[in-house]
Structures are given as structure tokens and as C-alpha cells.
Chain A
Amino acid sequence: KAGVTQTPRYLIKTRGQQVTLSCSPISGHRSVSWYQQTPGQGLQFLFEYFSETQRNKGNFPGRFSGRQFSNSRSEMNVSTLELGDSALYLCASSLVPSGSFDYGYTFGSGTRLTVV
């Protein structure tokens, strides 16, 4: 059974550019959540998608956006990159929204974004 797949694994971008990251959840999982991980802040919630609809959004500026496709694959986009956006971006898939009672989250290996 394939796990959560995130592409690309590494990215180097210049300030002001935009970037798109991709996440393919486990087959059958319809919920995808995105997290930003930095040494100082730890894991911070970006947003969650379920059935192509954004259910929840964390406290990030509008430069961070996402979407989910009918096959449950999700993309997140960051526009006008800043140095502080350098982080490990993780996505997590779950069978039902927000993890729910019986199911936890399965995480991908992440995309390491470096902004120079």
C-alpha cells in the first residue's frame, strides 16, 4: 500500500518567486492537511482539504493557498516567497476530516523549501 507522496523533495527558490508543492494521499483517503515545520516554531497547521473543499485554515498570510483535486491529490502554492518561508512542508492524509476518532494521520516525507 503506497504511502503519502510529496513532490518535489527539495526546492531552492529566490525571494519573490512562487512555488507549488504536491501531495498525493494514501489511496482512499480524502482528507489532506498541510503543515509547515521550522526549528523555531515547530509544526504549524496551514490548511485542510476534504472532498475538494477547504475545511480549516491556519494563521498564515494569503500568500499561502491550496487546492484539492477530485482524485484527492492536493497542491499548495506560496506566492511572493520570503526568506522566512524556508521550511519543511509536510502533508498528512486521513480517511476522514480532521483525523477523527478512530483514524490518525499519515504523513509524507515532506518538501524541503529553501528561499535564497
Chain B
Amino acid sequence: KQEVTQIPAALSVPEGENLVLNCSFTDSAIYNLQWFRQDPGKGLTSLLLIQSSQREQTSGRLNASLDKSSGRSTLYIAASQPGDSATYLCAAGDMNRDDKIIFGKGTRLHILP
């Protein structure tokens, strides 16, 4: 059964630092992995989508990597800013499940000014 885990659940870092958020999944039979951002009380904003055949995707200060063999994905945020404060969720597209996309519980990120 596919499980997606994000550790830590919460993270605080000073403004300007580079940081890495982690996402692990138990079954490598995924067809994609997507990172989302969620602001309090709001919906999810898609940040990056990595297809299973890809190793990484980049968008501005964000870089997401995917290593299916180790069951890991990371989201790298360069030069963090207070506006980056939000909850970051990863979601694995799993062909073997009816619901197809399995979410982690998220990492709540706080950037200290």
C-alpha cells in the first residue's frame, strides 16, 4: 500500500537560507510526483510536476528532484523569503490505486524575517 511521508511536519528557517523539504513514498510504481503549496485556509497551488521518467524540474527559485529507486523526492528552495511561508505538500501519482494520487500530510514552513 502506497504511503507518502513528509518529514519534518514543521520547519522554521531564517530569511535568505536555502532549504530542502523531503518527501518519501513506499512504492516506486508512481507515474508522477507533484509538489503543491497551500496557504492557510486556501486551496492548493501546483508548484512542480515531475514525470516518472524525469529526475528533476525547476521553476525560479524552486527545484524538485525525484529518485524512484530510493522512494524520495526533495523540494529545494533557494534564498528563502517570508512570502515562502506556507504548507508544502507532495503527492504521488500511483497507478495501482483507485484514487491514483496519494498526498503527504505536508511540511509547514515558516521563514523568519
Q: Which residues of A contact B (CB under 8 A)?
A: 4, 6, 33, 42-43, 45, 48, 56-58, 88, 90, 92, 98-110, 112
Tell me if B36 counts as interface (CB < 8 A to partner A): yes
Known contacts A106-B46, A109-B43: does B34 contact A43 (CB below 8 Å)?
no
Q: In whole angstroms, how far apart are the Cα atoms of A98 and B46 in the complex?
A: 16
Number of A-B residue pairs having CB atoms within 8 Å of each other in the complex? 60
Tell me if B109 counts as interface (CB < 8 A to partner A): no
Q: What class of interface size applies to chain B in its complex with A? A: 20 to 34
Known contacts A42-B106, A99-B32, A99-B93: does B43 contact A90 (CB below 8 Å)?
yes
Secondary structure type dominating chain B contacts? strand
Q: In whole angstroms, how far apart are the Cα atoms of A99 and B52 in the complex?
A: 13
B32 and A88 form a contact (CB under 8 A): no
Question: Which one of B46, B98, B105 lies within 8 Å of A104 (CB-CB)?
Answer: B46
Question: Which one of B43, B45, B101, B106 lies within 8 Å of A99 (CB-CB)?
Answer: B101
Shortest Cβ distance from residue A6 to the other chain B in the assembled complex, whole angstroms:
8
Question: Which one of B42, B51, B89, B91 lies within 8 Å of A102 (CB-CB)?
Answer: B51
B51 and A101 form a contact (CB under 8 A): yes
12 pairs from A and B in contact (CB 8 Å cutoff):
A33-B101, A43-B103, A56-B100, A58-B99, A98-B93, A99-B31, A99-B32, A101-B51, A102-B51, A103-B49, A107-B44, A112-B41
